[in-house]
Structure 1
Amino acid sequence: MYLLNGFLGEKYQRVNKIIDSYHSVQNNYINMEACCSYPFESVIDAQRYPIFTLPTEGVSGSRFFPAFECIEDIDIYSEELVRTLFDLDTNYNVTTQPHSGTQANQIVYNAVLSENDVVLSLSPKDGGHISHNKISKNQNKVINYHLTPEFEFNYDEIEELTQKNKPKLIIVGASSYPLQIDYNRIALIAHKYNAFLLADICHTALYVLGKTYPDVFPHADFVTFTMDKTLRGPQGGILIYKCEFSKLIAYSIFPISQGGPLQSLQFAKMIALVELSSINLENYAKLVQDNSKIICKKLVERNITVVTGTSNTHLILIDVRALKTTGNLVESRFYENNVLVNKNLIPGDQTSPDITSGIRLGTVCISNLNYSNEDVTLLAEIIANILLNPAIQNEGIHYLVEKYHKTINISN
């Protein structure tokens, strides 16, 4: 899929071995990891530009070094693009400075949390992200809410815990939750009890943009996401926040939470936003979601336990306990068959994060490569075979790798 050029010269021998190794994985494995997408070719090109030679600490309108106007333009144009893509009103501001999605969350924590403030977030065993549960500043106490037995967000529990514990911040978002989230309902609870709402939409940003998923605006006070999970951008975060928090966020970005911005990544984020502005996001979102549904349906037909039965995103969570195995062993089994998935905790999991009772799959990368419906169905059969019959040789993998992963070359 990718054509990675090496470096000329004997001193780069080890470097070129690293490139060759990465190239081999990219072009010989079916990537079904749920936390990545294949970047637009222009995004890869953008990261070749030396846009990192001028220090630009500070925020738009308030920099600490001269000759910042070019970076200021990146900030301004990126904000315009985000505003248009999400149809934001004037109550929100945007920054593309966060180095990651987790960093974007930390910027919010450092901006609004004081000593001993309480935070409410989804339990990691129910799909909550680890960065929503490890908040080191000011000895903040994190209390978890959970899913219902039907794998829905337990909105009644959220309200009960909010009323009882008076959290300063409620975090909504997950790294392995395939169904829809009612952001409005949680916002009503948060604001009823004077809590702020942070919506981490790293795994749902595409569907919010494509209007195939409940909207997070104007309900949330803060919205964070990354560009690389579903949006075909570079690694790096974006933070959208209500204007009333502008001074707190600016000071939290620098000097509290991070140093200067990574200008090359900001430039690449801007290019990705330009690309996203030029495509039909509803079609892209539906393609990813439809591919998830095809795979879920086939797995259920093969009596494999899909935790939520279906998916409204790219995420598919599989319970492997009935197969008398564990997630880490299944992850290795898939890797041996040239398919990349990851071990993952599932609701009610009694194992540890490095063992797990489940695996997590994603359909973004195969959607980026335009897998046909027939080949997605074939891939679903392959997944079922790997789970149920480890000894079977899956010739279909070679066919799919040759068809989709070796014939599309994007050069650096």
Structure 2
Amino acid sequence: MTVTHALEGDVLRRQDPELADLLLGERERQASTLQLIAAENFTSPAVLAALGSPLANKYAEGYPGARHHGGCEIADVAERLAVERAKALFGAEHANVQAHSGSSAVLAAYAALLRPGDTVLALGLPYGGHLTHGSPANFSGRWFDFVGYGVDAESGLIDHDQVRTLARTRRPKAIVCGSIAYPRHIDYAFFREVADEVGAYLIADAAHPIGLVAGGAAPSPVPYADVVCATTHKVLRGPRGGMILCGAELAERVDRAVFPFTQGGAQMHTIAAKAVAFGEAATEAFAVYTHQVVANARALAAALAAEGLVVTTGGTDTHLITADPAPLGVDGRTARGRLAAAGLVMDCCALPHADLRGLRLGTAAVTTQGMREAEMIRIAAFIGQALRDEASAPRVREQVRDLAGAFPP
């Protein structure tokens, strides 16, 4: 495990043995179970090293060359490096790497382009939309008038006719395309066409697919969207954080929406770790990795269907799968708990056109561990066995432990 030496070192154990034991426990959990949460991955030792670097000590409000604190000479170079690498990686004219999270990035995008009360068209939450796409529990639903589009009841694919009709009737100030539980590629060209027709901004929330985009395994939203919001973890395999990409004409508005409007000081150690991740993502090895992530997801989706689960949209184009375990006699929440007991860690999510919860899982982390299609078939068999027979959990747990041990993270 990449954090072994740091956690077993004398400093932390001497200073805070209680916390050291907790972190070692988490290390063991990750190494002995299968991480199938679609939003999680394993970072490289280099990313972890940057996160624990002296830049963690540096206050750097503002932007390179215009900080509100002294002593930012090296911090400026580090942030410029992250920005230039992000721009080159995604072919963007401008990149802001200060956003603390994906939600922070979306908040800043809205702040740059919208005013409270503006109408926004986005994928409805029951169909895979994110909290920042209009949830009443979130700032987005409280500050803006969100209109939700959905997916076709039969195919599970985004209903493009509904999108166009709603755009024409509601005349939104912005259209958001992106999801946390939609396993297919987004047709960014279609959304650009509709946005242009009604005079709306197009915001792509690419938190999930941006890592695949970096490796050439998914289409890029950058040529089509006015603003692209993303995370730097998930498939991209960097530190937990956010990022915004846009054209030069919106650069100043986006930057001011991040700082000083929605955030204070930049987390320079995280920005340095983002720079490391962008550098890693520009390699051929990372491109090979992202294509294997997709191949694994397709193999896992097919194997889950063979086990009796209903895979939404009939499969996946990405790292992400959503599936209904109801044919095996359990709902999503029950299934998640039963699978956790067997060492299979994943999420549950809303299922389109149903008052039920399904399972959401992904292949980014297990692919980082080196697993391929054959292991995906084994994982699907574990899932099927654990769901059909609750008493089998201890037995499946041992098989999961053996598989995880053969592919240490």
- TM-score, normalising length: structure 2: 0.92
- Give the superposition deviation at 1:75: 2.1
Partner of 1:402: 402
Native 8 Å contact 1:323 1:388 kept in 2: yes
Match of 1:172 among 164, 169, 177: 177
Mean alpha-carbon deviation: is it higher for 298-307 or for 268-277?
Answer: 298-307
Partner of 2:373: 373
Matched ranges for 1:133-282 at <5 A: 133-134=134-135, 136=139, 139-149=143-153, 150-282=155-287
Native 8 Å contact 1:294 1:376 kept in 2: yes
Native 8 Å contact 2:99 2:244 kept in 1: yes
Partner of 1:333: 338
- TM-score, normalising length: structure 1: 0.91
Q: Distance in 1 between matches of 2:99 and 2:374?
A: 40
- Give the superposition deviation at 1:210: 2.6
Partner of 1:62: 66
Instruction: Show CA shifts across 1:168-218 (max 9, x none).
Output: 111111001111110111011112211111101111112222333222121
Native 8 Å contact 1:378 1:396 kept in 2: no
Q: Distance in 1 between matches of 2:348 and 2:8?
A: 32
Distance 1:271 1:328, change over 3 A: same
- Give the superposition deviation at 1:34: 0.9
Q: Distance in 2 between matches of 1:67 and 1:10?
A: 32
Runs (5+) with no aligned partner, structure 2:
none
Native 8 Å contact 2:207 2:229 kept in 1: yes
Partner of 2:298: 293
Match of 2:19 among 11, 15, 20: 15
Greater than 4 Å deviation, 4+ residue runs: 6-11, 393-397
**1:316 partner SS:** strand
Q: Distance in 2 between matches of 1:180 and 1:248?
A: 29
- Give the superposition deviation at 1:59: 2.1
Native 8 Å contact 1:371 1:404 kept in 2: no
Distance 1:8 1:67, change over 3 A: closer
**1:178 partner SS:** coil
Given residue 22 of structure 1, which amino acid in structure 2 is its aligned partner?
Answer: E
- Give the superposition deviation at 1:46: 1.3
Distance 1:235 1:393, change over 3 A: closer
Distance 1:401 1:279, change over 3 A: farther
Partner of 2:91: 87
Partner of 2:79: 75
Native 8 Å contact 1:292 1:315 kept in 2: yes
- Give the superposition deviation at 1:403: 4.7
Q: Distance in 2 between matches of 1:394 and 1:297?
A: 25
Runs (5+) with no aligned partner, structure 1:
351-355
Mean alpha-carbon deviation: is it higher for 171-180 or for 126-135?
Answer: 126-135
Partner of 1:353: none
**1:298 partner SS:** helix
Q: Distance in 1 between matches of 2:338 and 2:397?
A: 14
Partner of 1:343: 348
Match of 1:324 among 329, 342, 361: 329
Native 8 Å contact 1:27 1:406 kept in 2: no
* 1:35 and 2:58 aligned: no
Instruction: Report how many aligned residue pairs link the two structures.
Output: 401
Given residue 365 of structure 2, which amino acid in structure 1 is its aligned partner?
Answer: C
Native 8 Å contact 1:28 1:406 kept in 2: no
Distance 1:201 1:407, change over 3 A: closer
| Bigger helix fraction | 2
- Give the superposition deviation at 1:397: 4.9
Partner of 1:392: 392
* 1:305 and 2:310 aligned: yes
**1:343 partner SS:** strand
Distance 1:71 1:110, change over 3 A: same
Distance 1:164 1:60, change over 3 A: farther
* 1:114 and 2:119 aligned: no
**2:352 partner SS:** coil
Q: Distance in 2 between matches of 1:291 and 1:265?
A: 29
Given residue 367 of structure 1, which amino acid in structure 2 is its aligned partner?
Answer: T
- Give the superposition deviation at 1:302: 2.5
- Give the superposition deviation at 1:271: 0.9
Q: Distance in 2 between matches of 1:185 and 1:9?
A: 55
Native 8 Å contact 1:122 1:171 kept in 2: yes
Q: Distance in 1 between matches of 2:318 and 2:58?
A: 40
Native 8 Å contact 1:30 1:405 kept in 2: no
Distance 1:157 1:372, change over 3 A: closer
Native 8 Å contact 2:309 2:326 kept in 1: no
Distance 1:408 1:326, change over 3 A: closer
Q: Distance in 2 between matches of 1:386 and 1:333?
A: 7
**2:212 partner SS:** helix
Partner of 1:129: 130
Partner of 1:357: 357
